[in-house]
Every structure is written in structure tokens, then in C-alpha cells.
């Protein structure tokens, strides 16, 4: 008896409140982004990146040059012309690179972060700055650096672990999940590191907040109480909350976690977002 991982690339429609599977595969894929024209998704799997056209869903390899040990932290610039990736081919640990994005890549990736490990998570709305999580010492904190490379700036302090930073569409805030004393909640902070605000107050383990492009809502991943880290193959919920804070709404629950919404996955029109859920099929 063996087991096969089945990945479901799904789209949640805000108007109807329902999900539809776009693509089902007998392989592991993760972390969908939406292209700026709204016509395709970008996912990773097996160390590579793929484009998935909505009109004819299938995996189309994106050429990322030498980078073939990609993790699931990748995303497209606000103008749609650049792609940020996190790859371990050269350094042995996750390092951030950018390359021109035309659906196929083709250019050699440019190294952005000189220190590792660094995991990309967001572009500023003006395309000038990247935000990411990185380990410098004993803990992972949130950092920013110029999109073309340069000195990094530490944004968070005093957390046991931070992850999943994503800019609000007005560029005024960076949302992230932060752990203190075993509790993981969502926070937002100014890009200069000031005005830290806690945004969730519950017994769930909350990860990967993503503001909608219209600035109205935050979709995030909620693990069950007591979960450590952000593991895969757990019963999880997708939840939504107003961007200015308030009560949360459960949108969907399924088997997922790591790989479900690690990176920004809203459609440009804020009417849909993409995610991945999983099942394990036993075979003889």
C-alpha cells in the first residue's frame, strides 16, 4: 500500500461564497499567485515554477534559469514585469532573486539578498521595496530591502518568530503573523517599524495574512489551537476579517496548511482568491 498526494488548485469567489477546483493533480503544488492580467496563476512544485492559464488549466514550466530549488515564496511585481523567487541552488539556503516575468522567465535571476536564509513575501505597491522573513541570529523577523538589491532593514523585534509579511495596497502597513510566548496572532506595522498593532485575538494559530487589492479585507490561514509552526496536511480554515479589524468569518475548511496561501493570492479585482488544498489517496 502506498500513498499519493493529490493537490487541488482552487478559486474562492467572493460574490457566491463558494470554491471551485481549477486543477487537480497527482503531485504536490503550492502557493498560487495571480498574474496582473487576471488570466493565469503561478504555482510552485518540485523546486520549479509553473504558470496555469485559467482558460485551459495545465502546468506550464516557467524558465527560472539556474534556479531549480525554489521554495513556495514567490510573487509578481505590481506592474507585472518582474518575478521574485526564493531559491537555494547557489547558497544552500533560501535566497531572494528577481527576474523579468513574461510568462516564461528566460533571464538569469538577479540576486537580491546577500544574507541567508531569506524568504520573499511581498512587493510594496510602488514596486520599490521587497518585504521578507529572514533569520539573522536566533529568530526569524520581518525585513525590507530595495527591490533592486541593497541594505536590508529589520522591521520587527521582540517576537519569537515572524512570517508572511504582505503590504496593504496603500503601502501604509505591512501585515504579518507573529509568535510570542507560544501564541501566533496577526499584526500590522508601519514599514518604518513603528505603530505595531495586534489584529487577531483568539485561540487559533493564525498565519499568512493577505490584504485584498481594494484594501477592504484580509484573508488568512487559521490552524487549530496548539499547532506548532505552519505544517502541511492539517485541518485548517481560511478566514477573512475587515482590514481595519473586527470579527472574523470562516470561508472554508479543508486539509492544508503549508502551501495553501503562503504568498499573495488575491485576484487583481478583489473578487476572487486562489488557494491549494490536499488529499492523500491510498493505492495498492
21 pLDDT band, cuts 50/70/90, is very high
pTM summary value: 0.96
| Pairwise CA distance, residues 109 & 90, whole Å | 11
What is the share, in percent, of the chain residues with pLDDT greater than 70?
96
Total count of residues recorded for the chain: 284
Check pLDDT > 90 for residue 230.
yes
What is the share, in percent, of the chain residues with pLDDT greater than 90?
93
Check pLDDT > 80 for residue 128.
yes
Residues 6+ positions from 129 with CB-CB distance below 8 Å: 123, 144, 145, 146, 147, 191
Check pLDDT > 70 for residue 103.
no
Measured CA to CA in angstroms, residue 164 lies from 118, 172, 185, 279, 281 at distances of 12, 17, 12, 24, 30
Q: What is the pLDDT of residues 157-168, one digit of tens each?
A: 999 999 999 999
Q: What is the pLDDT of residues 194-221, one digit of tens each?
A: 999 999 999 999 999 999 999 999 999 9
What angle is formed at CA 205 by the lines to CA 3 and CA 117, rounded to 5 degrees? 75
Residues 6+ positions from 78 with CB-CB distance below 8 Å: 36, 123, 124, 125, 126, 127
Of 124, 211, 121, give the one whose Cα is nearest residue 165. Answer: 121
Domains in the chain with CATH codes? 2-283 (2.120.10.30)
| Pairwise CA distance, residues 157 & 137, whole Å | 12
Residues 6+ positions from 25 with CB-CB distance below 8 Å: 6, 7, 9, 59
Please state the rounded mean pLDDT for residues 173-199: 97
Q: What is the pLDDT of residues 74-93, one digit of tens each?
A: 999 999 999 999 999 999 99
Q: What is the mean pLDDT of the chain?
A: 95
Q: What is the DSSP string of 38-80?
A: SSEEEEEETTEEEEEESSS---EEEB-TT---B-S--EE-TTS
Amino acid at each position: 500500500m502506498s500513498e499519493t498526494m493529490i493537490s487541488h488548485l482552487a478559486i474562492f469567489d467572493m460574490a457566491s461564497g463558494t470554491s471551485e477546483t481549477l486543477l487537480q493533480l497527482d503531485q504536490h503544488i503550492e502557493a498560487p499567485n495571480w498574474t496582473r492580467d487576471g488570466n493565469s496563476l503561478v504555482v510552485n512544485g518540485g523546486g520549479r515554477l509553473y504558470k496555469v492559464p485559467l482558460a485551459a488549466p495545465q502546468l506550464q514550466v516557467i524558465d527560472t534559469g539556474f534556479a531549480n530549488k525554489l521554495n513556495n515564496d514567490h510573487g509578481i511585481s505590481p506592474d507585472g514585469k518582474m518575478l521574485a523567487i526564493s531559491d537555494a541552488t547557489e547558497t544552500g539556503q533560501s535566497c531572494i532573486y528577481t527576474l523579468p516575468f513574461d510568462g516564461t522567465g528566460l533571464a538569469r535571476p538577479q540576486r537580491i539578498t546577500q544574507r541567508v536564509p531569506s524568504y520573499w513575501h511581498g512587493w510594496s505597491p510602488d514596486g520599490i521595496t521587497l518585504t521578507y522573513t529572514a533569520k539573522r541570529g536566533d529568530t526569524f523577523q520581518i525585513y525590507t530591502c530595495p527591490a533592486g538589491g541593497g541594505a536590508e532593514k529589520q522591521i520587527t523585534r521582540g517576537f519569537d518568530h515572524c512570517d508572511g509579511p504582505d503590504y496593504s495596497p496603500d503601502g501604509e502597513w505591512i501585515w504579518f503573523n507573529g509568535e510570542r510566548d507560544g501564541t501566533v496572532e496577526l499584526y500590522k506595522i508601519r514599514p518604518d517599524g513603528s505603530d505595531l498593532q495586534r489584529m487577531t485575538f483568539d485561540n487559533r494559530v493564525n498565519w499568512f495574512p493577505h490584504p485584498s487589492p481594494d484594501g477592504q479585507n484580509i484573508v488568512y490561514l487559521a490552524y487549530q489551537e496548539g499547532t506548532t509552526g505552519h505544517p502541511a496536511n492539517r485541518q485548517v480554515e481560511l478566514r477573512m476579517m475587515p482590514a481595519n479589524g473586527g470579527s472574523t468569518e470562516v470561508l472554508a475548511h479543508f486539509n492544508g496548511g503549508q502551501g495553501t496561501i503562503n504568498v499573495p493570492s488575491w485576484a487583481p479585482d478583489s473578487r476572487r482568491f486562489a488557494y491549494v488544498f490536499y488529499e492523500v489517496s491510498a493505492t495498492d
